[in-house]
Structure 1
Amino acid sequence: MKQKLFLAAMAAIAMTSCSNDETLEINTGTERAIDFRTAMATRAIETTISNLDSFYVTAFNENIINAPYFKDLKFKKREENSTIFVSEDKYYYPGDGTNLTFYAYAPSAEELGSGSNLEIDNTIKNLTLKGFSPADSIPDQVDFIATKTTGNNKNNVDSVPLVFKHCLSQIEIKAIQQNPNNSYSFEIKGVRIAQAISKGDFDFTAFASESESESGWNLSAYTDKQIYTYEFDEPKDMAQGASLMDKCGGAMLIPQQLTAWDVVNNKENTRKGAYISLLLKITTKDGALVYPFKEDAEAGKEYAWAAIPVDTKWEAGKKYVYRLNFANGAGYVDPEEDTNKGKPILDGEVKFDVEVTDWESHDYTGNMENGEITEDLDETDTEDPWGGE
C-alpha cells in the first residue's frame, strides 16, 4: 500500500489507526422478549461493554410499510456487571418467521447533540441521523456507535450477532521533544483542531454495508467548519512527553478528508484550511520569552497559539494520534491570532521526524525537508523507506 503524506509545518506528525468494534447478541425465541447479550469486548477505550449502560434500537418488520415495528427503544443492562440488556417494554418476534431489521445505536439522537434527529423511511426500511454536529468543546464530545442486523424466530432461536462499530473518527494529540533542543522550554496550555466540517448526515444502512469505503456519512449539504478547542487547567511541560488529552481521551469528529491550511499563499486562512494548534509559551533555558511575541506579551498575553497544517483523511472507526515533535521548530502563528498570522515561530532549518503506525503496527521514522514523503507500507519490507541516517 502506498500513501503520500504532505506536511508543511515545523513539527512532526504521527497517525495511529485502530479498528474499534463491539459485538453483542440478541437472545430470541417464540415466546421470549428480544433481549441483547454481550459476546465480545471492544478493542477501543471509549465505548465498551463495561461502560455501555444502555443503547437504543429501531426495528422494522419487512411486511409493514407504514410504521416501524418499534422506534428508539431503550435497552439497559439488567443489573450491574451483567452482559444482558433488556427493554422495559417487551417486544417479540412475529410467529410466522417474518424478518425484523434492527438498527442499534448509542447514545440517543438527543444525547448526541442539538440539531440531531432520526428520520425513518418505512418503505426502504432505512434510518438516517440528520444534522449531527459534534460539540464545540472537545471534552463534551461523545462516542457514537451503531450497527444493523436482521433476525426472525425461525433462524435465530438462540441468538443474532450484533456488531457495533464506531461511527466517528477519534483524534488525539501528543507533544514530544524527540532529540530535545535544550535551548528552549515549551509549556502547553491547550489544543485546537481547526477547520473541520462540523455537520453531516449519517445513513445507517450505508454504514453497515460491506464496502470498506462506505462511512455512512454524507457531508454534501454542509459547508460550515468549526474550531474544536480544549484548554487545560494547568500547563503541561513538553519535555515530559505530554499526553494532551489524557482526561478526555480525544476528540470525536466526523470522518472526512481535510484540506490543509495553505500557510504560504493564504496566511490569514480565508479558505479555512485545516490545522492543529497548541496554546504555547516558549522560553529560553535562561527564562527569556520567545513566544508569544513581544507585542502580544506586552499586551498581557501569557500564551499564544502555534499551528501545524494537516491534510489527513479521517475514516470512521479509526483513531489518529498526532505526535507533534518540536525539536526543530514550533509551527506557525495561528491564523486566528490578531497579529503575525502564518509567521514561523522559530525560523531556521525544517526537519521532520515522521512516524506512521497503522493497526498492523508498521513503524517507520525518518527525516524530511522538502514537504513530501512517499511511503511504501509493504508488510514484507523491513527497509527504512527514507534511508534513515
Structure 2
Amino acid sequence: MKKSLLIAALAVFTMASCSKDQVVETPQETIAFNVVANKATKAADVYCNANPMSEFAVWASYGGESYFADERVAVSVSEGTTTCTPDVVRYWPAFDKSQTMTFFALAGTTTDLDWTEKGVTAPTVAYTIKDAVAEQEDVLFARSATFDDKSSAPVAMNFRHALSLIEFKAKNESDNLHVVISNVCATGVKKSGTFTFPTNPTTQNFQKHDDNSTDEDNTYNTDEKWETSGENNGEYVVALANNVSVPKDKTTYKSLTYLAAEDGTTANYYSRSMLLMPQATDTKVAGDEIYIGVYCQIYNMAGNTYVEATDALLYKGWALVPIDINWEMGKKYIYTFLFKNGNGGTQGGDDPKDPKPGTDPVLFQIDYTVSVDDFDLILDQEVEMVKK
C-alpha cells in the first residue's frame, strides 16, 4: 500500500476593469486624480474596479527631481462616481518645455515604505511581507502617463497588483484513504524585497474575467520588478476555520483557502489566501527549496466509505512537498494536493503551527517478500517391492 501527495499548479490572476471611468470636475490649475483599478485586503475580496481602495499614496517627479512625495489621496465611491480627494491640494508647475512630470502611486499597504526617487526615472520601494497571513496586504502600484504641460483632466492612475496570490485545493484519488486537513502552509519563502517602478506608464487596464479562467495574454508589458533580499525563511501557515474532509472522489476538488463555496458573499473569499513576494526557485539547488503542505490526518478505510469509529489512523502531522516556482506579479497560483498512488510527500513534524521539512515519507509502503521452507527430509530408505 503506497500513497502520496502530488502537486499541480494551475491558473493565473490579473486585474479586472471598470466599464466606465467616472471623474469629478476640479479647478484647472490643481492636480486631480482618477482611479481606474483597485485593491484587495485580507478582509475583502480581490475586487474589480467598481469598488476601489480607500486611499493611495502618490509621488510626483518633475524634471527628474521630487515635486512632492508620499501624499495621501482619499478615494470614495457614491452612486457610481469615484472621487479622489488629496490631503494637500497641489498645482501644476509652470512647465519648462524641456521638463516633464510623472506621477507614481502605491496603495493597499499601511506599512512605512522606504522610498527613493531623486534623480531616477524608476523609483524603488523596500517592502517585507507580513508574517500573519490574515494581515497580508495587496500592494498595488501605478505610474501615470508623462506630462509636458498642465492637464485639465484628472491624472489617471491604473493600479496593478505587485504581489503573487497563492491558493490551495485538495483532491483524493485513492481507493482506500480518507484525508482530513486542518492547516496549509508555504515555507522557505523569501519575504523581503525592493520593488522598482516601471519606466513606462501602467495605462492598460485588463478586462474582467471569471475567477477560474486563465488570462495568459494579460501581461503587463512593462519593466517593473522585484529584487528579493534576505534569507528564504518566510513561513506562512493558515489554520482552516473548520477541518476539511477530503473523501475518496476522483473528480471533486476541495477548496482549502478560497472561500466562495462556504460564504455567500464576497466579503471573505480571500481571507485565507496568501499574498507573497514574487520570486523563482530551483529545487535542484540545495537550500533553495520552497515547501508547501497540509497538516492532515490520513485514515485507512476498511470499506468503501470512511467510518470514524473503526478505520485506522495511518498518519497525523505535516505532509510537505518541495516545489519549483516562478511567481510573477499580479498572477494567482492554485496548488492542488493530490492524494493518490506514489509517494511524493515527506513528513514535516506534528506541530500544526510550525512545519519542519524532513526526509521520511508520509506513508511507508507495506512490502512483501516470499520464501518457502524446504520440506524436511525425515526418511530416506529403500522399500523392497517384490520378495524373492
TM > 0.5 between the two?
yes
Instruction: Please say if residues 193 and 275 of structure 1, whose CA atoms lie closer than 8 Å, have aligned partners that are also in contact.
Output: yes
Among 277, 296, 317, the residue aligned to 1:280? 296
Residues of 2 paired with 1:26 and 1:120: CA distance? 30
Deviation, structure 1 residue 186: 0.6
Residues of 2 paired with 1:99 and 1:213: CA distance? 20
Question: In the alignment, which residue of structure 1 is the partner of 2:307?
Answer: none
Residues of 1 paired with 2:86 and 2:37: CA distance? 21
- Distance of aligned partners of 1:60 and 1:25 in 2 relative to their CA distance in 1, 3 Å threshold: farther
Question: In the alignment, which residue of structure 1 is the partner of 2:70?
Answer: 72
Match status 1:37 vs 2:34: yes
Match status 1:123 vs 2:119: yes
Instruction: Please say if residues 32 and 155 of structure 2, whose CA atoms lie closer than 8 Å, have aligned partners that are also in contact.
Output: no
Instruction: Please say if residues 175 and 244 of structure 1, whose CA atoms lie closer than 8 Å, have aligned partners that are also in contact.
Output: yes
AA partner of residue 46 (structure 2)? E
Moved more, 19-28 or 153-162: 19-28
Match status 1:291 vs 2:315: yes
Question: In the alignment, which residue of structure 2 is the partner of 1:367?
Answer: none
Question: In the alignment, which residue of structure 1 is the partner of 2:363?
Answer: 346
- Distance of aligned partners of 1:42 and 1:224 in 2 relative to their CA distance in 1, 3 Å threshold: closer
Deviation, structure 1 residue 146: 0.1
Question: In the alignment, which residue of structure 2 is the partner of 1:199?
Answer: 192
Question: In the alignment, which residue of structure 2 is the partner of 1:162?
Answer: 157
AA partner of residue 127 (structure 1)? P
Residues of 1 paired with 2:360 and 2:134: CA distance? 30
Instruction: Please say if residues 58 and 71 of structure 2, whose CA atoms lie closer than 8 Å, have aligned partners that are also in contact.
Output: yes
Deviation, structure 1 residue 234: 1.9
- Distance of aligned partners of 1:91 and 1:208 in 2 relative to their CA distance in 1, 3 Å threshold: same
More helix, by proportion: 1
- Distance of aligned partners of 1:181 and 1:334 in 2 relative to their CA distance in 1, 3 Å threshold: closer
Residues of 1 paired with 2:25 and 2:103: CA distance? 13
Question: In the alignment, which residue of structure 2 is the partner of 1:188?
Answer: 181
SS class of match (1:173): strand
The 5-angstrom pairing of residues 221-232 of structure 1 reads 221-232=229-240
Residues of 1 paired with 2:23 and 2:62: CA distance? 16
Instruction: Please say if residues 255 and 314 of structure 1, whose CA atoms lie closer than 8 Å, have aligned partners that are also in contact.
Output: yes
Instruction: Please say if residues 184 and 284 of structure 1, whose CA atoms lie closer than 8 Å, have aligned partners that are also in contact.
Output: yes
Match status 1:321 vs 2:334: yes
Match status 1:243 vs 2:255: yes
Moved more, 308-317 or 333-342: 333-342
Question: In the alignment, which residue of structure 1 is the partner of 2:61?
Answer: 60
AA partner of residue 58 (structure 2)? V
- Distance of aligned partners of 1:48 and 1:105 in 2 relative to their CA distance in 1, 3 Å threshold: farther
The unaligned stretches of length 5 or more in structure 2 are 203-218, 260-267, 302-309, 367-388
Deviation, structure 1 residue 71: 1.4
Instruction: Please say if residues 61 and 68 of structure 2, whose CA atoms lie closer than 8 Å, have aligned partners that are also in contact.
Output: yes
- Distance of aligned partners of 1:104 and 1:337 in 2 relative to their CA distance in 1, 3 Å threshold: same
Deviation, structure 1 residue 329: 5.2
Match status 1:91 vs 2:115: no
The unaligned stretches of length 5 or more in structure 1 are 1-8, 263-269, 293-303, 350-389
User: Residue by residue, what CA displacement relative to the aligned partner does 1:217-239 show, whole Å, maximum 9, x if unpaired?
Assistant: 112x4234211111123211123
Instruction: Please say if residues 78 and 84 of structure 1, whose CA atoms lie closer than 8 Å, have aligned partners that are also in contact.
Output: yes
Moved more, 75-84 or 25-34: 25-34
Instruction: Please say if residues 225 and 272 of structure 1, whose CA atoms lie closer than 8 Å, have aligned partners that are also in contact.
Output: no
Moved more, 150-159 or 245-254: 150-159
SS class of match (2:198): helix
SS class of match (1:190): strand
Residues of 1 paired with 2:40 and 2:318: CA distance? 34
Question: In the alignment, which residue of structure 1 is the partner of 2:46?
Answer: 46
Deviation, structure 1 residue 243: 1.2
Question: In the alignment, which residue of structure 2 is the partner of 1:357?
Answer: none
SS class of match (1:11): strand
- Distance of aligned partners of 1:208 and 1:237 in 2 relative to their CA distance in 1, 3 Å threshold: farther
Among 253, 272, 275, the residue aligned to 1:252? 275
- Distance of aligned partners of 1:153 and 1:162 in 2 relative to their CA distance in 1, 3 Å threshold: same
Instruction: Please say if residues 215 and 255 of structure 1, whose CA atoms lie closer than 8 Å, have aligned partners that are also in contact.
Output: no
User: Residue by residue, what CA displacement relative to the aligned partner does 1:23-50 show, whole Å, maximum 9, x if unpaired?
Assistant: 8788787734322224467899525430
Instruction: Please say if residues 35 and 52 of structure 2, whose CA atoms lie closer than 8 Å, have aligned partners that are also in contact.
Output: no
Question: In the alignment, which residue of structure 1 is the partner of 2:171?
Answer: 176
- Distance of aligned partners of 1:41 and 1:166 in 2 relative to their CA distance in 1, 3 Å threshold: closer
Instruction: Please say if residues 330 and 344 of structure 1, whose CA atoms lie closer than 8 Å, have aligned partners that are also in contact.
Output: yes
Instruction: Please say if residues 22 and 48 of structure 1, whose CA atoms lie closer than 8 Å, have aligned partners that are also in contact.
Output: yes
Normalising by structure 1, we get a TM-score of 0.69
Moved more, 279-288 or 158-167: 158-167
User: Residue by residue, what CA displacement relative to the aligned partner does 1:87-121 show, whole Å, maximum 9, x if unpaired?
Assistant: 1311121243653211111134xx24xxx532223
- Distance of aligned partners of 1:340 and 1:235 in 2 relative to their CA distance in 1, 3 Å threshold: same
Deviation, structure 1 residue 21: 6.0
SS class of match (2:189): strand
Instruction: Please say if residues 22 and 163 of structure 1, whose CA atoms lie closer than 8 Å, have aligned partners that are also in contact.
Output: no
Normalising by structure 2, we get a TM-score of 0.69
Q: Percent identity?
A: 21
Instruction: Please say if residues 38 and 159 of structure 2, whose CA atoms lie closer than 8 Å, have aligned partners that are also in contact.
Output: no
